[in-house]
Copies of this chain bind each other. A is one copy, B any other.
Amino acid sequence: MLTEHTIEIRVRYCETDAMGFLHHGNFANYYEMGRTELLRAQGGNYREIEESGLFLVVVRLDCRFHSPAKYDDLLALTTRVDRVTPVKIEHAYELRRDGLLLASAKSTLACVDREGRIQRVPESLGTPPRKSSE
């Protein structure tokens, strides 16, 4: 299964701040778009997962900001599945402009039902990548 996917994101004017840069609060939204499109590239669809009664909730998001982006910059976001356990998915993200790394992040998602109870991660969301260290 595909475990890495890159999308292009054009920085919107409304996402900039008075410093003249892409505001740091918007990166979480970009990473969420990265997950949506990685899943679509894998043949899945997050909307259908929600319609089936399962929800992926972010339980941790650790962001590092290396260099600023500006309005109208065309960015490349790479989203990678790092690890899947029965109840969690870990992703890693790299956001670049012309190859220059602007930001990186790691997130942990849990799978819950409509009442917020922990559920097994559905198989369509990926099986753990085999690692020599495991």
Contacts from A to B (Cβ < 8 Å): 10, 12-14, 16-21, 23-26, 28-29, 32-33, 36, 45-47, 50, 55, 57-66, 68, 70-72, 116
- Bound form: Cα–Cα A71–B13 in Å: 16
- Bound form: Cα–Cα A33–B23 in Å: 14
Chain B residues contacting A116 (CB-CB under 8 Å) are 68
Number of copies: 4
Chain B residues contacting A17 (CB-CB under 8 Å) are 13-14, 16-18
Contact B47 A58 (CB under 8 A): no
Chain B residues contacting A62 (CB-CB under 8 Å) are 60-63
Contact A24 B58 (CB under 8 A): yes
Chain B residues contacting A63 (CB-CB under 8 Å) are 60-63
- Bound form: Cα–Cα A25–B16 in Å: 12
Contact B72 A47 (CB under 8 A): yes
Chain B residues contacting A29 (CB-CB under 8 Å) are 12-14, 25
Contact B72 A45 (CB under 8 A): yes
Contact B24 A25 (CB under 8 A): no
